[in-house]
Amino acid sequence: MSSSALPYRPHNHQACVTQALADARAICQQHNARLTPTRERVLELIWQSHKPLGAYDVLAVLAEDGHNAAPPTVYRALDFLQQYGLVHRIASLNAFTGCTHAGKSHNGMFLICRWCGNVLELTAPAVSSAVNTAAAEESFRPEDVTIEVSGCCPRCAADNAHD
Amino acid sequence: MSSSALPYRPHNHQACVTQALADARAICQQHNARLTPTRERVLELIWQSHKPLGAYDVLAVLAEDGHNAAPPTVYRALDFLQQYGLVHRIASLNAFTGCTHAGKSHNGMFLICRWCGNVLELTAPAVSSAVNTAAAEESFRPEDVTIEVSGCCPRCAADNAHD
DNA sequence: GCAAAATTTGCAACATTATAACATTAGCAA
DNA sequence: TTGCTAATGTTATAATGTTGCAAATTTTGC
């Protein structure tokens, strides 16, 4: 499942990855959590991909690395990374993406392009507060909020205009 | 995966099921869609359960019925029911629940109790419009919006208070 | 330092969820 | 009838995720 589509905006993506890894190391240190080589490598792989990566995609790359890993290795690493807010699981895709707001309190909302597969994570306070209000009206206490919007991104809308 | 927890409010649930089936027949007729026995039975099973039902749960009950069904039978029925807005798939649970707003345009939002497993579907216009605004700011055209809130329902909050 | 305890990883098997591909049957219209 | 389309049956397999236990590694208490 490798791909070629560009991310939303052209940029030096390796810099993103490097920064994300540096942030991750800092966050883990703050929490006395161990960002072991496997965990760090999984995080790196997820960040290197512009699209959410499935657990078995990660597994395949680890295999190319020469790392003879089994599914639990990947799922455990992903659980760890999720726990510290370093990656998010996109439920509607069964896939994982790097958290672009790691460290900050993040009420993520994901815009998922049906065409190119790119995902944009937003922090949308207005959405969060509307969700909380709606939940409160039912006396429901939210613990985890999943907001995933599937649709068409601007780039693909432009590309498809002349269909 | 049978269970015993009550729904949010006590009520004659069989009446809900009957009504849902009647609505479904009407909706399908309007669309010249065929609510075949299998499809109707799947819808009924989903409505009878107070909690979202997995495809294989449905399959198991069909087997009890004496219907020698295979997974594609169930998935096809579920696809059909989703297509006409009669059931929703809860991505975070890999399960299906009856749509309580079938027929109307529905921007569903789901409150999923971690403790009892019950799900409440809400129509929350404020949430929808906040989501649409946030998407518009990114020039993103939403096609399908998934909002699933996992947390603690009022009943379970009361039950757990004395832990 | 060093042994005990806790965390992390390796590994094998297995469980669950979902789809592909193709044959067959049922409903319906000319 | 005949021919078309939609729906279902059937088999196999793909894709995703988990359990349980043993081995290795890291941390902790002394």
A131: CB partners within 8 A, 6+ apart = A142, A145, A147, B109, B124, B127, B147, B149
Q: Does the pLDDT value for residue B6 go beyond 70?
A: no
- Buried/exposed code over A73-111 (b: 16+ C-beta within 10 A; e: otherwise): bbeebbebbeebbbbbbbbbbebbbbbbebeeebbbbbb
Which phi-psi region, left, alpha or beta, contains residue B54 (left: φ > 0; alpha: ψ -120 to 50)?
beta
Alpha carbon of A7: minimum distance to chain B alpha carbons (Å): 14
Q: How many CB atoms lie within 10 A of CB B1?
A: 11
CA separation for the pair A122, A110 (Å, rounded): 6
Q: Does the pLDDT value for residue B113 go beyond 50?
A: yes
- Please give chain A's pLDDT, 163 residues, in tens: 333 344 556 677 888 899 999 999 999 999 999 999 999 999 999 999 989 999 999 999 999 999 989 999 999 999 999 999 999 999 999 999 999 987 776 778 999 999 999 999 999 999 999 999 999 999 999 999 999 999 999 999 998 765 5
Alpha carbon of A44: minimum distance to chain B alpha carbons (Å): 25
Domains located in chain A, CATH noted: 13-98 (1.10.10.10), 108-160 (3.30.1490.190)
Q: Does B143 sit within 8 Å of A152, measured CB to CB?
A: yes
B34: CB partners within 8 A, 6+ apart = B28
Nearest CA in chain B to A127: B130
Nearest CA in chain A to B152: A141
Considering only CB atoms, A141 lies closest to which of B141, B146, B157, namely: B157
Q: Does A141 sit within 8 Å of B124, measured CB to CB?
A: no
A67 CA to C8 C1' in angstroms comes to: 16
Nearest CA in chain B to A142: B151
Alpha carbon of B16: minimum distance to chain A alpha carbons (Å): 20
Is A34 (CB) below 7 Å from strand C?
yes
Question: B153, B8 in Cβ contact below 8 A?
Answer: yes
Question: B42, B77 in Cβ contact below 8 A?
Answer: yes
Structure tokens at B67: 């219907």
Which phi-psi region, left, alpha or beta, contains residue A157 (left: φ > 0; alpha: ψ -120 to 50)?
alpha
CA distances, A27 to each of A20, A22, A24, A80, A103 (Å):
10, 9, 5, 12, 7
The pTM of the full predicted model, rounded to 2 decimals, is 0.90
Structure tokens at B42: 């799947």
Q: Does A131 sit within 8 Å of B91, measured CB to CB?
A: no
Strand C contacts in B 64-83 (CB under 7 A): 70-72, 75
B131 CA to D4 C1' in angstroms comes to: 45
pLDDT score of B23: 95
Strand partners, B108: B123
Q: Is the alpha carbon torsion for A12, A8, A126, A142 positive or negative?
A: negative
pLDDT score of B118: 94
User: What is the pLDDT averaged over residues B122-131?
Assistant: 94
Question: A95: which nucleotide lies closest, measuring CA to C1'?
Answer: D16
- Write out the DSSP string of B96-112: EEE-TTTTS---EEEEE
In the chain, the amino acid numbered B60 is A
Q: How many CB atoms lie within 10 A of CB A154?
A: 13
